[in-house]
Amino acid sequence: MADYNFQEIEKKWQSYWDKNQIFNAEVDHSKPKFYSLDMFPYPSGAGLHVGHPLGYIASDIITRYKRLQGFNVLHPMGYDSFGLPAEQYAIQTGQHPALTTEQNIQRYTEQLKNIGFAFDWSKEVRTSDPEYYKWTQWIFMQLFDSYYDKKLNKAVKIDSLIAFFEKEGNSGIQAVCDEETPSFSAEDWNTFSEIRKQEILLHYRLTFLAETTVNWCSALGTVLSNDEVKDGFSERGGHPVERKKMMQWSMRITAYAERLLQGLENLDWSEPIKEMQRNWIGKSIGAEMVFQVKGQDKMIKVFTTRIDTIYGVTYLALAPEHEYVDDLITDDQRSKAEAYVEVAKNRSERDRMSDVKTISGAFTGSYAINPFNGEEIQIWIADYVLAGYGTGAVMAVPAHDERDYNFAKHFGLEIRQVIEGSMENGSFPGKGGMIMNSGFISGMEMKEAMNKAISFLEEKKIGKGKIQYRMRDAIFTRQRYWGEPLPVYFKDGLPYLIEESDLPLVLPEVDKYLPTEDGEPPLGRAKNWTYKTDQGEFPLEKSTMPGWAGSSWYFFRYMDPKNTEKFVDPKNEKYWGAVDLYIGGAEHATGHLLYSRFWTKFLYDIGAVSIEEPFQKMINQGMIQGRSNFVYRVKGSNKFVSFGLKDKYDTSAMHVDVNIVHNDQLNIDKFKAWRPDLADAEFILEDGKYICGAEVEKMSKSKYNVVNPDDIIERYGADTLRLYEMFLGPLEQFKPWNTNGIDGVFKFLKKMWKLYHDSHGQFQISDEMPNKEELKTLHKTIKKTQEDLENHSFNTSVASFMICVNELTSLKCNKRQILEPLAILVSSYAPHIAEELWSLMGHNESIIYASFPEFKEEYLVENNHEYPVSINGKMRAKLTLPLSLSREEVEKAALEDPIVLKWTEGNPPKKVIVVPGKIVNIVI
Ligand code: ANZ
């Protein structure tokens, strides 16, 4: 083979890898394990674009490197294949989502295989496969069957809770439950009906059915999670979203709030992602206390982080949705207050939180009593108070809280300072000022004052210290078709689990993928969507699980994907353990990455897995943006003017498909074929070319800047694509896809290929011993590559390969002892060419069985030194001498140097100073 025929080489090795299944990983206790995971894709109809494989290439490089180091590597791939787009497509076309999903998966797999990934395809999982979601349903059942024991600080079987209730009722139990759970004694419990018992248990179960305020999107006909809603509109499709109360399944993730927070400490993740999770969890340490309403037997409970400011409270503020609002509004305030509540309720929480400028509120007409000083204070309704946080009511301290301050200013309410430094003079509290004008806590520091105030609350039984989390329980159902059915049926209106032996509960067929006429989810259309028990036939749950269900545990299934008895065999799970490197997008910071941590902790609690944190180290790759190209149409004409001349005309820019532009030059014939309607357009050229403008934007179909990896591979090969994606810049950075530099990378591979071939293109390497320079080039590259791989600095490695190949080319080096290790170094990045060269060098086994070359420091040590020689203080000559020479030998060599001789004219100098390894100074 003469030339670097990448097409042939790549096909050959891809089919070799496939046939020999060399990347299949099985438990092997003789080797250390390395579990490398990529966030699995949703197989969309559009296929992969060049941005998608970026992270996969990086992790592929790491896994190949780890194999060379002797690790047993698990590097799987699969599909997160339930989801809305397939369902929307099904609604439009009537095609079953399973069908389109299957087609999309085939295309994805083909595209991924073209890139030469070292995936263990035998471990592939698909979340929409009944054999997979059987176990998603099984985990749901375990959650339903468990409650959170605060004393043991873990999930425990619900049976032990029932046993406790039978003996002692629920007053002594330390369990996480809903706020409004009623108290009962053992006698009560034992006389409760079955229905009542089940109702009570729902307050404790880790997945439960309850009336919840949800984000309802009527255009999509479904509930959305908070992270699927952006500024009051659905993230997909941009449809309006409203707040609505509905019966919904939820996951009691709040039970795990503290563990989710603490667990972050030991994870090797980027600080911004950890911080996002901390903020999402939102831990606040404070106090809860009640204020008696004057003249009514109502108590308003507030949550405050600053109980030390209690003497500065000048009013209470309630969220418009607060349950007491109606009762508190007095007749003389009614019309104004009710009108206000109506408007305020319809603003989303997000708007209310982000909008600090609009100040609105209404006085209820009622008063509350501050138990610390007996003062009567006004009760207001204010939409800056959120219904879903704390108790939905605040004690307002205008002198020391910004929102209270703005509100009080606006409505002319009292502002009373109780800490040194106040809002009035631009100083926030919490900076350690002394408490003043505050009865028995005057003169104290903040901490002490808080402790004293909390003791007072506890003594009077009107409050207590309280830790509050901002995080809410996670809503778990969607009114959609293409998702996992919940393994639940209803008897007497209450949910029961189906038998484990009846799993999987397979998604039924429906005539249409739309809600029913009476607004039921699509499963309402299924015939016989019922469950038969000895007691009769009962309706099954009609909602399905959300997108995040299947992805919350897939990393376990990869370890043992075909197991029909368990979701993973403990032996496999113990061996593979936590993911050693997780690569994926930062956009999952508060969704997937929290939910999977939660499920893992739960599975750990019930003894199903041995780890508490699924992803030990994570890297978030930056997005590859599109580089759009533009042509410039002269307004009102059919003429297009080249970029450099466009300012001479009145033009409008138009996106043009980047695939018909090369190095910013437009292929005019292809343009005409692309837009037949513009086939008769005229082009005003510069230097005979039509040059396009360019801009960096999101990669998207509508901007015609999507680049398909298949096209790059056809033109340059997968090895070039892989190297080039890494060469674009640091992995974590956002960067535009700019093919202008891709030729350089391609040339590098051709140059490397040439090193192993003679001038006639014949493979030829020599068994001669390498010289020092060649060894130095090689070892410099080994050192750099290894350092880069350890630091995940992929772009710099590519640069060092290029330098290495350039140096070896100038040294005309074709020695086996240099070129074998070089092929190994490059093999993680450009595996196809490396395999080919490796086999040409006479190896019968894949290069993945080679060992990573050992770096030897000795080859980098300089043996010679270039001595500057000065004569009478002026630098006159340079002398390269071995470092091993003695002072006398250096002096002798210097004095014999022809240039020095010219100056000394052969006479002995007055003085010679030699600093070995540095300089020579001669005085004549
Ligand atoms: C009195 C006070 C005085 C407060 C002061 C702050 C400063 P974080 O830290 O986010 O937990 N708050 C309580 N519930 C609220 C709700 N549902 N909507 C809006 N605000 C609410 O914030 C807790 C503080 O936010 C609480 O402490 C309360 O105001 C307010 F100088 O009470 B504070």
Determine which of 227-241, 303-317, 561-575 has the lowest per-residue pLDDT on average. 227-241
Q: How does pLDDT run across 530-550, given as a tens digit for each residue? A: 999 999 999 999 999 999 999
Residues 471/476/481/486 CA torsion (nearest 10 deg): 170
Q: Whose CA is nearest to atom 8 of ligand 1?
A: 284
> Would you say residue 869 has pLDDT above 80?
yes
Q: Is the CB of 284 under 6 A from ligand 1?
A: yes
Q: How does pLDDT run across 103-134, given as a tens digit for each residue? A: 999 999 999 999 999 999 999 999 999 999 99
Q: Which pair of structure tokens corresponds to residue 112?
A: 């991924």
Confidence of residue 238 (pLDDT cuts 50, 70, 90): confident
* 284 C-alpha to ligand 1 centroid (Å): 9
Q: Is the CB of 305 under 6 A from ligand 1?
A: yes
Confidence of residue 354 (pLDDT cuts 50, 70, 90): low
Compute the half-sphere exposure of residue 781: CA atoms within 13 Å on the CB side of its CA.
27
Give the span between the Cα atoms of 438 and 61, in whole angstroms.
Answer: 64
Q: Is the CB of 314 under 6 A from ligand 1?
A: no
Using most ligand atoms within 8 A of CB, pick from 179, 261, 290, 305 the residue to mutate for ligand 1. 305
Q: Is the CB of 303 under 6 A from ligand 1?
A: yes
* 386 C-alpha to ligand 1 centroid (Å): 10
Inter-residue contact 454 to 462 (CB < 8 Å): no
Q: Is the CB of 394 under 6 A from ligand 1?
A: yes
Give the span between the Cα atoms of 427 and 425, in whole angstroms.
Answer: 6
Q: Is the CB of 468 under 6 A from ligand 1?
A: yes
421: left (phi over 0), alpha (psi -120 to 50) or beta: left
* 288 C-alpha to ligand 1 centroid (Å): 11
Q: Is the CB of 309 under 6 A from ligand 1?
A: yes
The overall average pLDDT reported for the chain is 93
* 333 C-alpha to ligand 1 centroid (Å): 26
**503, 785, 874 from 488: Cα distances, Å:** 11, 54, 93
Atom of ligand 1 nearest to the CA of 400: 31
Q: Domains plus CATH for the chain?
A: 31-135+215-276+472-622 (3.40.50.620), 146-204 (no CATH), 311-449 (3.90.740.10), 624-697 (no CATH), 718-859 (1.10.730.10), 862-923 (3.10.20.590)
Q: How does pLDDT run across 259-307, given as a tens digit for each residue? A: 999 999 999 999 999 999 999 999 999 999 999 999 999 999 999 999 9
Q: How does pLDDT run across 36-71, given as a tens digit for each residue? A: 999 999 998 888 999 899 999 999 999 999 999 999
Q: Is the CB of 427 under 6 A from ligand 1?
A: no
Q: Is the CB of 433 under 6 A from ligand 1?
A: no
Residues in the chain: 924
> Would you say residue 431 has pLDDT above 60?
no
pTM over 0.85: yes
Atom of ligand 1 nearest to the CA of 430: 31
* 397 C-alpha to ligand 1 centroid (Å): 10
> Would you say residue 430 has pLDDT above 60?
no
> Would you say residue 203 has pLDDT above 80?
yes
Q: Are strands 618-620 and 581-584 parallel, antiparallel or unpaired?
A: parallel
Confidence of residue 917 (pLDDT cuts 50, 70, 90): confident
Residue 903 φ/ψ, nearest 5 degrees: -80, -40
> Would you say residue 574 has pLDDT above 80?
yes
* 405 C-alpha to ligand 1 centroid (Å): 13
Q: Is the CB of 400 under 6 A from ligand 1?
A: yes
Q: How does pLDDT run across 1-29, given as a tens digit for each residue? A: 468 999 999 999 999 999 999 999 999 99
* 403 C-alpha to ligand 1 centroid (Å): 9
Q: Is the CB of 390 under 6 A from ligand 1?
A: yes
* 10 C-alpha to ligand 1 centroid (Å): 62
Which amino acid is residue 684, in one-letter code? I
* 303 C-alpha to ligand 1 centroid (Å): 7
Q: Whose CA is nearest to atom 5 of ligand 1?
A: 401
* 304 C-alpha to ligand 1 centroid (Å): 5
Q: Whose CA is nearest to atom 19 of ligand 1?
A: 385
DSSP state of 795: H
Using most ligand atoms within 8 A of CB, pick from 261, 281, 284, 304 the residue to mutate for ligand 1. 304
Using most ligand atoms within 8 A of CB, pick from 283, 300, 385, 394 the residue to mutate for ligand 1. 394
How many other CB atoms are found less than 10 A from the CB of residue 232?
Answer: 15
Residues in Cβ contact with 163 at an 8 Å cutoff, skipping those fewer than 6 apart: none
701 is in an annotated binding site: yes
Burial of residue 888 (number of CB atoms within 10 Å: 0-12, 13-18, 19+): exposed
* 173 C-alpha to ligand 1 centroid (Å): 29
Q: Where are the beta strands (DSSP E) in 130-221?
A: 146-149, 154-157, 207-217
Q: How does pLDDT run across 146-196, given as a tens digit for each residue? A: 999 999 999 999 999 999 999 999 999 999 999 889 999 999 999 999 999
* 394 C-alpha to ligand 1 centroid (Å): 6
Which amino acid is residue 390, in one-letter code? G
- Tell me the mean pLDDT in the region 572-597: 96
Confidence of residue 350 (pLDDT cuts 50, 70, 90): low
pLDDT at 242: 84
pLDDT at 246: 83
pLDDT at 422: 66
Q: How does pLDDT run across 609-628, given as a tens digit for each residue? A: 999 999 999 999 999 999 99
Q: Whose CA is nearest to atom 20 of ligand 1?
A: 385
Inter-residue contact 147 to 208 (CB < 8 Å): no
Q: Which pair of structure tokens corresponds to residue 776?
A: 């130095």
Q: How does pLDDT run across 641-670, given as a tens digit for each residue? A: 999 999 999 999 999 999 999 989 999 999
Q: Is the CB of 306 under 6 A from ligand 1?
A: yes
Q: Is the CB of 389 under 6 A from ligand 1?
A: yes
How many other CB atoms are found less than 10 A from the CB of residue 915?
Answer: 11
Which among 86, 131, 89, 136 is positioned nearest to 108, based on CA atoms? 86
Q: Is the CB of 401 under 6 A from ligand 1?
A: yes
Q: Is the CB of 466 under 6 A from ligand 1?
A: no
Q: Whose CA is nearest to atom 18 of ligand 1?
A: 385
* 406 C-alpha to ligand 1 centroid (Å): 14
* 383 C-alpha to ligand 1 centroid (Å): 13
**765, 774, 808, 837 from 816: Cα distances, Å:** 6, 11, 12, 11
Atom of ligand 1 nearest to the CA of 309: 3
Using most ligand atoms within 8 A of CB, pick from 284, 289, 302, 303 the residue to mutate for ligand 1. 303
pLDDT at 28: 97
Q: Is the CB of 100 under 6 A from ligand 1?
A: no
Q: Is the CB of 304 under 6 A from ligand 1?
A: yes
**Element (DSSP H or E) covering residue 101:** helix 97-114
Which amino acid is residue 667, in one-letter code? N
* 306 C-alpha to ligand 1 centroid (Å): 8
